[in-house]
Amino acid sequence: VQREMSSLPRVYITRQIPPEGLKILSESGQVQFDLWDSDDVPVPRKELLQKVKGVDALVCVLTEKIDAELLDAAGPNLRVLSTMSVGFDHLSLEELKKSILLQLCVCVGIRVGYTPDVLTDSVAELTVALLLSTSRRLIEATHEAKTGGWGTWRTLWLCGYELANSTVGILGLGRIGVAIAERLKPFKVKKFIYTDVAPRPELASLIDAEYVSMDELASQSDFLTVCCALTPETKDICNKDLFSKMKNTSIFINTSRGGVVHQEDLYEALSSGQIAGAGLDVTVPEPLPISHPLFTLNNCVILPHIASASYSTRNAMSALAANNLLLGLKGQPMIKELKL
């Protein structure tokens, strides 16, 4: 039995992932795995570099940088990487592509699985919750109620902005942007607009959204929600230039990646009243230090990157990451594979 075990592909899992994924891997009988048995702290880099030596496959989450150093440490056996995330900005695609070229002589490169779709509902739901918490000032309101700020009923106290009759702008229209718009529509939104590198008519037709320029998105949106991936092109795309074109009454929401926002410019826009409020589920860095100036602002609601955090979604992500990995190791198409 021991000999059989030792001939199975070796997998390292960088986190104690939710049970469904672990169950799939253990019951498959196709792999032997070792894991960083904690969900509270990420595996220390030194330990990770040690543990990946000689592995055939790796399951990671978004806290692990998969770069040249890690690929070097893993060595030539590594052929499958499966991230339990839809975002892949923690993976150095350039280095992964290089690995394909280097290994061309044996016709294999590292294949990469990720977990889109299964988290769309959860992320869209949280985005709506964050948008409403920000625009209707729910966090400030509960704080006032609990700390003695609740005096008499006042005519303009804690007033915010409503979705009815508004224009909602989506920066980066994909599955998640569509799912957000579908949920917002019943709130009587007047118009959906979006921008992207090019029009996306098929997705846009699902929500009757109009393609506009970045400038128009900024100037027309009452609510601007960021749904694009973080890439070198989108880094800091939400900056002074964008905020300065937004209405003083508009609300900015980001549930994609912190890196798409120039945070100093956002602080400036919020503290000067250039825009009315911001709801962020993602920041740079994560966790955002409690001394960060954004935490001093009443008109900024900050969540600790929880958009996909529902039990069912996190289990589905874990299961998909496990299945991607097993299929990749068998040389079969993964359920969700990144084209490098």
| Catalytic site positions | 305
Residue placing its CB nearer to ligand DGY in the complex, 25 or 62: 62
Residue placing its CB nearer to ligand DGY in the complex, 74 or 86: 86
Cβ-closest position to ligand DGY: 87
**Cβ 234 to ligand DGY, closest distance in Å?**
14
Task: Please tell me the distance from the alpha carbon of residue 176 to that of residue 255, in angstroms, as a whole number.
Answer: 10
Residue placing its CB nearer to ligand DGY in the complex, 110 or 118: 118
Residue type, 55: V
**Cβ 149 to ligand DGY, closest distance in Å?**
34
Binding to ligand DGY by residue 180, rule CB under 6 A? no
Binding to ligand DGY by residue 173, rule CB under 6 A? no
Give the per-residue contact string, 290-309, with ligand DGY (x = CB under 6 A; - = no): ------------------x-
- Are the CB atoms for 268 and 287 separated by under 8 Å? no
**Cβ 257 to ligand DGY, closest distance in Å?**
7
Binding to ligand DGY by residue 280, rule CB under 6 A? no
Binding to ligand DGY by residue 221, rule CB under 6 A? no
- Buried b / exposed e along 296-308 (16+ C-beta atoms within 10 A): eeebbbbbebebb
- Reading the block at residue 82, the tokens are 């499966």
Binding to ligand DGY by residue 254, rule CB under 6 A? no
Binding to ligand DGY by residue 22, rule CB under 6 A? no
Binding to ligand DGY by residue 266, rule CB under 6 A? no
- Buried b / exposed e along 33-42 (16+ C-beta atoms within 10 A): bebbeeeeeb
Residue placing its CB nearer to ligand DGY in the complex, 41 or 107: 41
Give the per-residue contact string, 51-90, with ligand DGY (x = CB under 6 A; - = no): -----------x----------------------xxx---
**Cβ 132 to ligand DGY, closest distance in Å?**
20
Residue placing its CB nearer to ligand DGY in the complex, 87 or 277: 87
Task: Please tell me the distance from the alpha carbon of residue 69 to that of residue 263, in angstroms, as a whole number.
Answer: 29
Residue type, 313: T
Considering only residues 83 through 142, tell me which ones interact with ligand DGY, judged by CB under 6 A: 85-87, 119
- Are the CB atoms for 179 and 154 separated by under 8 Å? no
Binding to ligand DGY by residue 179, rule CB under 6 A? no
Q: Which of 322, 256, 330, 324 lies closest to 112, judged by CA?
A: 324
Task: Please tell me the distance from the alpha carbon of residue 276 to that of residue 248, in angstroms, as a whole number.
Answer: 6
**Cβ 258 to ligand DGY, closest distance in Å?**
10
Residue placing its CB nearer to ligand DGY in the complex, 86 or 218: 86
Q: Which helix (H) or strand (E) holds 302?
A: strand 300-302
DSSP for 132-192 reads: HHHHTTHHHHHHHHHTT---S--SSTT----STT-EEEEES-SHHHHHHHHHHGGGT--EE
**Cβ 123 to ligand DGY, closest distance in Å?**
7
Binding to ligand DGY by residue 167, rule CB under 6 A? no
Q: What is the Cα 145 distance to its own chain's centre? A: 32
Report helix angle 175-184 to 120-135, nearest 10: 50
Contact residues: ligand DGY, CB under 6 A:
62, 85-87, 119, 308
